[in-house]
C-alpha cells in the first residue's frame, strides 16, 4: 500500500520518532495473526496521526475503523487530559484482539470501543464539537461518514480520511468501482466550501480536511 519509493520510505521512517515498543508488538502480531495486515496504519503514518493529535489536543475524537487498535492508540496519545476517543469497529470478532492491544498502553482508559455499523452508531450519539475524526473503514462509505460527521466537528477541527490515493489508481487509467469511489470522494471534498483540504502522499494517501 506504500505509494512512495521504498528507499524514500525507509529514509523517512529512519528520521521519524521510533515506533513505541507496544506498537511494534501490535504491528508484528497483526502481521502474524490477522488477515489483511496491510490495513494497519504502521510506523510512519502512526507517528503522523500521533503528532496531529498532539497539535490539536482533542477533548473528543472519533475513529471509524478500529481494526487491531493501532491507529486508535496513536490518536489517543494526543488527547487532552480529560479527552476521549470513540472508535467504531464493524467486526465483533476483533473485540478480544482490540482489548488485549489497548491493555498494552497507558491510554486504554481514554478509548471507548463500539461495535456495529458506523452510520447507526454515529446516529445514536449526539456528538457535537468533535475535535478530530479519522475515517479508515469500508471505503465506499467514506463520503457518507464525512457527511454524517462534518457538521458535528467544531470550527478548526480536523477530519482525516485514509487511502484516498488508492494505490495510485486514482490518478491512473483504472475504472473499477473502488477507484471511481475514491475519485468521486476527492472531487466532492475538493469543491466543498465548508472545509479546507489537502492530500498528503503518505502511505496510501491521507486527506486532511479542516472545518472552517
pTM: predicted TM-score of the whole model, two decimal places: 0.96
pLDDT for the residue numbered 3: 83
The count of C-alpha atoms lying within 13 angstroms of the C-alpha of 3, restricted to the half-sphere facing its C-beta, is: 18
Tens of pLDDT along the chain (212 residues) come to 678 899 999 999 999 999 999 999 999 999 999 999 999 999 999 999 999 999 999 999 999 999 999 999 999 999 999 999 999 999 999 999 999 999 999 999 999 999 999 999 999 988 899 999 999 999 999 999 999 999 999 999 999 999 999 999 999 999 999 999 999 999 999 999 999 999 999 999 999 999 99
Domain coordinates of the chain in residue numbers?
6-159
pLDDT for the residue numbered 142: 96
Architecture of domain 6-159: 3-Layer(aba) Sandwich (3.40)
pLDDT for the residue numbered 4: 86
Which residues make Cβ contacts (< 8 Å) with residue 111, sequence separation at least 6? 69, 72, 73, 76, 84, 85, 87, 102
Distance (Å, rounded) from C-alpha 173 to C-alpha 187?
16
pLDDT for the residue numbered 134: 98
Q: How far is CA 34 from CA 90, 93, 94, 114, in A?
A: 15, 11, 9, 20
Q: Which stretch of DSSP H or E encloses residue 127?
A: none
pLDDT for the residue numbered 1: 65
Amino acid at each position: 500500500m506504500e505509494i512512495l519509493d521504498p528507499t524514500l520510505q525507509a529514509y523517512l521512517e529512519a528520521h521519524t520518532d521510533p515506533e513505541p515498543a507496544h506498537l511494534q508488538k501490535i504491528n508484528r502480531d497483526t502481521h502474524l495473526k490477522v488477515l489483511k495486515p496491510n490495513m494497519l496504519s504502521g510506523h510512519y503514518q502512526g507517528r503522523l496521526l500521533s503528532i496531529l493529535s498532539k497539535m490539536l489536543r482533542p477533548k473528543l475524537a472519533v475513529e471509524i475503523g478500529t481494526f487491531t487498535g493501532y491507529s486508535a492508540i496513536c490518536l489517543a496519545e494526543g488527547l487532552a487530559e480529560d479527552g476521549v476517543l470513540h472508535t467504531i469497529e464493524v467486526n465483533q470478532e476483533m473485540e478480544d484482539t482490540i482489548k488485549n492491544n489497548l491493555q498494552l498502553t497507558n491510554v486504554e482508559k481514554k478509548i471507548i470501543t463500539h461495535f456495529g455499523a458506523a452510520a447507526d452508531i454515529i446516529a445514536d450519539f449526539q456528538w457535537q464539537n468533535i475535535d478530530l475524526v479519522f475515517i479508515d473503514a469500508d471505503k465506499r462509505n467514506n463520503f457518507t461518514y464525512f457527511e454524517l460527521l462534518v457538521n458535528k466537528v467544531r470550527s478548526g477541527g480536523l477530519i482525516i480520511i485514509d487511502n484516498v490515493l488508492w494505490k495510485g489508481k486514482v490518478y491512473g487509467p483504472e475504472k473499477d468501482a473502488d477507484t471511481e469511489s475514491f475519485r468521486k470522494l476527492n472531487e466532492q471534498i475538493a469543491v466543498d466550501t465548508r472545509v479546507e483540504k489537502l492530500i498528503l502522499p503518505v502511505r496510501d494517501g491521507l486527506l486532511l480536511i479542516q472545518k472552517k
